[in-house]
C-alpha cells in the first residue's frame, strides 16, 4: 500500500512517516502545494493524508484537482482547523475522512486501515481469489487455509495484483507502486524480476490456483482460476 503525506510541518511529517513505514506502507511526502500537486499528477496512491493549510495554497484546492483528474485515491484530511464547516466542505468535496490535529498515531493508523478496507476490499477484511486468501491487516496469505510465508515486498506485490485481477500491469507501474517514486533512480528492473520470480515460485509450490503471468515486453497479469 502506498501513501502520500501532504504536511508542511517537518516534525509532524516525520512522525507520521516513521509510524507508517513501521506498518509496512510505502510512504512518500510533500511539504507544500506545488510539490504535492506534482506528485498527484505523476503518481497514484492508495491513500493521501492531506493538510488543508499549506504555505503556498489550500489543501482543499488539491482535493478538487484530484477529483478533476478522476483519480480514485482515498483521502483523509488532516488539519488543525477543526471547524464543522471545514469538515463538511472536505467531505462534500470527496474526502473519505477528517482527522483533526492533534491526534495519536494509533488513531491515524486506524483511520487509514478503515478507508483502505472500504476503498479496496468493499469493506471486507480479506481479499479472496480462488483458493488464495490475503488479509491486509495481518499481512497473512492463506492457500487452502494454510499460511504461505512471504517477504514484505512479495506480500505487497501480491496485494497489488489481487486488487487488480485480469489487469495488465506494466513493470514500471508495479515498481513505482510497490517501491515508491525513488525507483526512478534505478538503472533497471532486476529487483522487480527477482521478487516476481520468487513470489510466482512460492505460489506454485503452495498449490495456488491463481497465476501471475508474465507478458513478454510489458509486465504481468494476475489470472484467477476459471469459474
- Cell of residue 130, nine digits: 480462488
Place of cell 532486476: 190
> With pLDDT > 70 as the criterion, what percentage of the chain qualifies?
89
Sheet containing 219-223, strands listed edge to edge, beginning at the edge strand earlier in sequence: 168-170, 219-223, 211-215
**CA distance linking residue 203 with residue 197, whole number of Å:** 10
User: Measured between alpha carbons, how far is residue 138 from residues 3, 128, 145 in Å?
Assistant: 18, 15, 15
**CA distance linking residue 128 with residue 135, whole number of Å:** 9
Identify the CA nearest to 133 among candidates 119, 151, 150: 150
Element (H, E) at 27: strand 26-30
**CA distance linking residue 148 with residue 133, whole number of Å:** 10
pLDDT digits (tens, 9 = 90+) for 147-169: 999 988 899 899 889 988 999 98
Helix (H, G, I), strand (E, B) or coil at 147: strand
pLDDT digits (tens, 9 = 90+) for 22-71: 988 889 999 999 999 999 888 888 899 999 889 999 999 999 888 787 77
Q: Do 47 and 74 contact (CB within 8 A), yes or no?
A: yes
Contacts of 173 (CB under 8 A, 6+ apart): 219
User: Could you tell me which residues are beta bridge partners of residue 219?
Assistant: 170, 215
Q: What is the pLDDT of residue 35?
A: 95
Helix (H, G, I), strand (E, B) or coil at 186: coil
Show the DSSP H helices in 47-189 as ranges: 59-68, 84-92, 105-121, 152-162, 171-179
pLDDT digits (tens, 9 = 90+) for 111-154: 898 888 766 544 446 889 999 999 877 788 999 999 999 988 89
Upstream peptide bond of 55 is cis (omega within 30 degrees of 0): no
Q: Is the pLDDT of residue 185 over 50?
A: no
Identify the CA nearest to 151 among candidates 107, 202, 106: 202
Q: Do 106 and 15 contact (CB within 8 A), yes or no?
A: no
pLDDT higher at 185 or 209? 209
Q: Is the pLDDT of residue 181 over 80?
A: no
Amino acid at each position: 500500500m502506498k501513501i502520500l503525506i501532504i504536511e508542511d510541518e517537518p516534525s509532524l511529517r516525520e512522525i507520521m512517516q516513521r509510524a507508517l513505514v513501521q506498518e509496512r506502507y510505502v510512504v512518500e511526502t510533500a511539504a507544500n502545494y506545488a510539490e504535492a500537486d506534482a506528485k498527484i499528477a505523476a503518481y497514484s496512491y492508495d491513500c493521501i493524508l492531506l493538510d488543508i493549510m499549506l504555505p503556498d495554497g489550500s489543501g482543499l484546492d488539491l482535493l478538487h484537482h484530484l477529483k478533476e483528474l478522476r483519480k480514485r485515491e482515498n483521502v483523509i484530511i488532516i488539519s488543525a482547523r477543526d471547524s464543522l464547516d471545514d469538515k463538511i466542505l472536505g467531505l462534500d468535496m470527496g474526502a473519505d475522512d477528517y482527522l483533526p490535529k492533534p491526534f495519536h498515531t494509533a488513531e491515524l493508523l486506524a483511520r487509514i486501515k478503515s478507508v483502505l478496507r472500504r476503498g479496496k476490499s468493499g469493506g471486507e477484511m480479506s481479499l479472496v481469489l480462488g483458493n488464495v486468501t490475503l488479509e491486509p491487516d495481518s499481512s497473512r496469505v492463506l492457500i487452502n487455509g494454510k499460511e504461505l510465508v512471504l517477504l514484505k515486498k512479495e506480500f505487497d506485490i501480491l496485494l497489488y495484483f489481487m486488487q487488480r485481477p485480469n489487469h495488465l500491469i506494466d513493470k514500471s507501474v508495479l515498481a513505482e507502486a510497490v517501491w515508491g517514486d525513488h525507483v526512478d533512480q534505478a538503472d533497471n528492473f532486476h529487483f522487480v524480476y527477482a521478487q516476481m520470480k520468487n513470489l510466482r515460485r512460492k505460489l506454485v509450490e503452495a498449490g495456488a490456483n491463481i497465476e501471475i503471468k508474465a507478458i513478454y515486453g510489458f509486465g504481468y497479469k494476475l489470472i484467477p482460476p476459471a469459474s
